[in-house]
Amino acid sequence: MKALFLSIVCYLCIAQLQAQQVSLLSADQLNERLKQGKDTVFVVNLWATWCVPCVKELPFFGRLQHAYPDNPLKILLISLDFRSKIKSEVEPFIKKMKLEQEVFVMNDVDQQTFIDKVDKQWSGSIPATLLVNTAKQQRKFIPNELTYEQLVDQYESIK
Amino acid sequence: MKRLTTFLLLAFIVKASAQTSGYQVGALVSDFSLKNTNNKTVALSDYPDAKGYIVAFTCNTCPVAKAYEERLIQLNSKYAPLGYPVIAINPNDPDVSAGDSFQAMQERAKSKQYAFAYLYDPGQEVTRQFGAERTPHIYLLQKTAKGNKVAYIGAIDNDPEEANPQRINYLENAIAALQKGKQPDVAFTKAVGCGVKFKK
């Protein structure tokens, strides 16, 4: 009985841990979420653990969130790491970088489809950032690395 | 209605096959002269017997480029004898990406025994001319009477991780079309890669 209880507790622990970890996201799911945004401004960063400029840029998104605590601002960090690297690379990386934002790994295998679905202007190069204000029907795609100041400017221009 | 559908379809194709800058599919490419890792300069005109060229923007540092390195070596050994040599160009600025210095390129070419040119693009002029945005980024050129024409832009295949059971070899399919005197069915693809490190 005790063993059973322990195993249930363990199972719950694991489930809890997993809940805080990385989810998979398809481009369709992303677009659906952006569409439901109402007054929320989404800042979607496309990155990977292996991409040096992306790693440099990642903390800026946390900084942006803290700089606008009262704004309807949602940051989504979408990793393009291989799905087979979630446990070995992405999750330890999130821990190490203490990322507080929602992190996803792109779930579509066919890059031809998902790159265009995220944004027609995107060639697939990373880092890249997408800002979406559904209420104002505004959308901005930035196909390169941003400094913190540039990120703030981009956000200010669309919020 | 049918006409509208056709129009929309065409509009979609045009949009999906657009490069944001640089050469588009069908454009004629200006020749260039860049320094190879053996210190000699290389130009497209140095290959009088070529039927075309596999111009590959690639580098030392990008994990995606590294994942494709062996495939690039294989492509050159398969297609150079058939008239389609690989010409690799490193588009990254070494001040931004130290691992892409000319010396590092020389070391890489030597250790991997590149049988193809691996060119340094100081000032990134050729990179901008082509509109290369990431590594790896492939431009398949076809030699024509008018000049070297862009026949295909994009990825080598749709299988960076070498785990896709439905692998499509875009580049090889495009070469096969040229060999048959046709144009590639798929002339433009996108792929996840490392953004080119431009000078700041």
Report the percent of chain A where pLDDT is more than 90.
79
| pLDDT at residue A82 is higher than 60 | yes
Number of domains making up chain A:
1
User: What's the domain range around A42?
Assistant: 19-158
| pLDDT at residue A111 is higher than 80 | yes
CATH number at residue A151: 3.40.30.10
- Residue B65 makes CB contacts below 8 A (sequence gap 6+) with B58, B59, B135, B136, B193, B194
| pLDDT at residue B86 is higher than 60 | yes
User: By three-state DSSP, how is residue B47 classified?
Assistant: coil
A146 domain residue, yes or no: yes
CB-based contact B62:B192 (threshold 8 Å):
no
Instruction: Name chain B contacts of A128, Cβ cutoff 8 Å.
Output: 195
Give the residue on A whose Cα is nearest the Cα of B193: A125
Q: Cβ of B192 under 8 Å from any chain A Cβ?
A: yes
B200 domain residue, yes or no: no
Instruction: Name chain B contacts of A112, Cβ cutoff 8 Å.
Output: 158, 189-190
Report the percent of chain B where pLDDT is more than 90.
86
Q: CA B147, CA B6: separation in Å to the nearest integer?
A: 32
For residue A34 the two structure tokens come to 């952006």
CB count within 10 Å of CB A108 equals 18
User: What's the domain range around B63?
Assistant: 2-195
**In DSSP terms, which residues pair with A105 in a beta bridge?**
A24, A79
Range from A22-36, B5-19, B153-167, B170-184 carrying the lowest mean pLDDT: B5-19
- Give the per-residue pLDDT at A5: 54
Under DSSP, the state recorded for A90 is: I
Report residue A41: phi and psi, to 5°: -95, 125
A58 domain residue, yes or no: yes
Q: How confident is the model at residue A2 (pLDDT cuts 50, 70, 90)?
A: low
Interface of B with A in 27-46 (CB under 8 A): none
A8 domain residue, yes or no: no
Q: What is the pTM of this model?
A: 0.86
Number of domains making up chain B:
1
For residue B103 the two structure tokens come to 């010396």
Q: How confident is the model at residue A16 (pLDDT cuts 50, 70, 90)?
A: very low
- Give the per-residue pLDDT at B163: 85
Q: How confident is the model at residue A108 (pLDDT cuts 50, 70, 90)?
A: confident
CB-based contact A90:A103 (threshold 8 Å):
yes
Supply the ipTM of this predicted assembly: 0.81
CATH number at residue B91: 3.40.30.10
- Give the per-residue pLDDT at A7: 55
